[in-house]
A and B are shown apart, each in its own frame.
Chain A
């Protein structure tokens, strides 16, 4: 077969004459890319034409909207730790990437997006499908560049991958003009290992590490916060060693979810607006707060002027711009989380904080009584999101990958899904992008085909990207789609109920028949309306070999609690 005779990768330094378009593909192969999410169009046709010969080496997933490509690439990157790659054409193709780029930017997901652009002599002429993609994407990329000459393609791609995955990861966009794709070059590929002006990580300051260790050693009530940085730095085990050695209770942010086992005895749950009761309250009681790889998002801190004022703060963070951005650090450790926590492990003494830890448990018991019992073992007729999620989670024994959309179901799932493997939580944290979950779940499944991937989605968010059902069918990715249908834009309705006198302004949804939609896309589906059918429905979903959609009708007007109302202190967390 002709395709197989093509040389793959570029191990040898020998150069080879080829087109810019083929150089794009060869460069991706040199970066070990095996999956690309994309959508073709005029300005990127040469690259698609080159891809035609490499179908056996690169699995190109034809999404149904470019936004889907970005979210799928994010899901892929989040579970696999690799860089997610997207292709899109100029103009509308490129602008459709913007939501995903913004999402990846705020959640530190490594992406390389390649967009086609009109020929360079047409730049600035308002040519057909010409958009200033560089300008439009600048605010939502870690770095971007435009390539107008074929010979610049390998260098640009090498730089893009290096920037996307190093330091604090992020999305990168390369805009390649059509003439550069058609042009010829002598191809050779050198991976990028250094950029003069770019310091992806600083060396840990050992003096500071000693100060941090002293604080931890003398703390009576230490509390550690696990952010996504722990996962990105692969510092999960090091953090566990630290908390176990010094007996420190910890909690995770939404993005830190799954970094440690849910049922670890020092795991006190989730921080933030809809997080657990104890970790929020104890933030304002601890004496030393150790934040690892997190950025004190306002959904975590509530009112910053009343956040952990009593505590000495140790902030471990790879991005120097995060230090003192929101919460001033008494001891900043600007470093890769793994390096910093390793150093601390050497310096920290074994300790016991039994009373302090017990005080978390006492507080947690209040939440169990007031919230969790009602969520998981409801006495009413309608089903709760919590009971559905917990049921799925238990059937997966904590081995599943949870992908969530945005809204009440996201919070319920994050609270009640249980994890025992890292990189098992994929959600849109910083941007809160409805429509994220379905394509992200597809990407996640392709990133870890051997694992069960369950997407928990609201009836609202599902309708933002449901066309990706077609992609799921076409790739036969065995994504399990769980729609928690409350016939409302639930999270907004909750706010209307609590803060806008129940004026339900445009949040009630008249929905289509989701089962029929799914079946129209040839994905088997089932609808569960009563609790007695729930088990059966979930079993059918999990036992299905291929993709499956399960719609569960849940109570229309349930609320997610606990809740730290916007602008309130974490101490003012409400249980009802």
Chain B
């Protein structure tokens, strides 16, 4: 069964490792849907988070190939149901929207979003949540696009 898997990899901070890891996927013609790399909670240890669509059998083998890399400390995989997915979405809306007054403010409050910055031309609001929620806010803000 093809579904989404999240692969978490903890590594040393070693030069070229990102390349070594992606080679494992490209060689097997697996498309990486998303990829983030950053330092983890442990200083000096990096965390890679990759999302791919595949079958569990294949993912298991991939994770073993990743763990085999000399500079990889540990690799895990999860199915979507086991992971907490949060998207962070940024919306850029014309500053005119603010002048609409309360409607726009309420919209932000109802969606638990927040105002990041107000420039003379545009406003940026931020929303964290599941994909449906960020999409919902996107739809709601369209009313203010032309304003």
Binding site for B on A (CB under 8 A): 134-135, 138-139, 142-146, 163, 195-198, 319-321, 323-325
Give the CA-CA distance A324 to B59 in the complex, in Å: 12
Compute how far the CA of A195 lies from the CA of B12 in the bound complex, rounded to whole angstroms. 10
Q: How far is the CB of A170 from chain B (nearest CB, A)?
A: 10
Partner of A146, one of B12, B15, B67: B15
Of the candidates B12, B23, B70, B71, the one having the most CB atoms from chain A within 10 angstroms of its own CB is B70
Partner of B19, one of A135, A163, A323: A135
Query: In the assembly, what is the distance between CA of A163 and CA of B14, in Å?
Result: 15
Smallest Cβ distance from B41 to chain A, in angstroms? 17
Cβ of B117 to closest chain A Cβ, rounded Å: 36
Question: In the complex, A196→B70 CA distance in Å?
Answer: 9
Q: Which residue of B lies closest to A328 (CB)?
A: B57
Within 8 Å of chain A (Cβ to Cβ): is B61?
Answer: yes
B21 CB to nearest A CB, Å: 10
B68 touches A319 (CB 8 A): yes
B16 at the interface (CB under 8 A from A): yes
Whether the pair A321, B23 counts as a contact (CB closer than 8 A) is no
The 15 listed contacts between A and B (C-beta, < 8 Å) are: A134-B16, A138-B20, A142-B70, A143-B70, A144-B16, A145-B15, A197-B11, A197-B71, A320-B64, A320-B68, A321-B61, A321-B68, A323-B64, A324-B61, A325-B61
What's the minimum C-beta distance from A576 to chain B, rounded to whole angstroms?
38
**Interchain CA distance A198-B70 in the complex, whole Å:** 5
- CB neighbours (8 Å) of A146 from chain B are 15-16
Q: Is the CB of A197 within 8 A of B70?
A: yes
- Confirm or deny: B137 has a beta carbon within 8 angstroms of a beta carbon on chain A: no
Quick check: B70 and A320 within 8 Å, CB to CB?
no
Q: B73 contacts which of A134, A144, A145, A196 (Cβ < 8 Å)?
A: A196
Interface of A is mostly: mixed
Q: How far does the alpha carbon of A48 sit from the alpha carbon of B64 in the complex, in Å?
A: 40
Closest B residue to A199 using CB positions: B67
Minimum distance in angstroms from A159 CB to a CB of chain B: 9
A138 touches B16 (CB 8 A): yes
Q: A138-B16, A144-B16 are in contact. Are A197 and B73 (CB under 8 A)?
A: yes
Identify the closest chain A residue to B66 (Cβ): A321
Name the one of A138, A196, A321, A325 contacting B67, with C-beta atoms under 8 angstroms: A321
Query: Considering the chains assembled together, what is the distance between the CA atoms of A359 and B139 in angstroms?
Result: 74
Q: How far is the CA of A146 from the CA of B17 in the complex (A)?
A: 12
Q: Which residues of B contact A324 (CB under 8 A)?
A: 60-61
Query: How many Å lie between the Cα of A233 and that of B26 in the bound state?
Result: 32
Interface centre among A144, A197, A320 (most CB of B within 10 A): A197
Across the interface, do A320 and B67 meet the contact criterion of CB distance under 8 Å? yes
Contact of A197 among B20, B60, B61, B72 (CB under 8 A): B72
| Given known contacts A197-B70, A198-B70, A138 and B19 CB-to-CB distance under 8 angstroms | yes
Q: Which residues of A contact B12 (CB under 8 A)?
A: 196-197
A324 to B12, CA, bound (A): 27
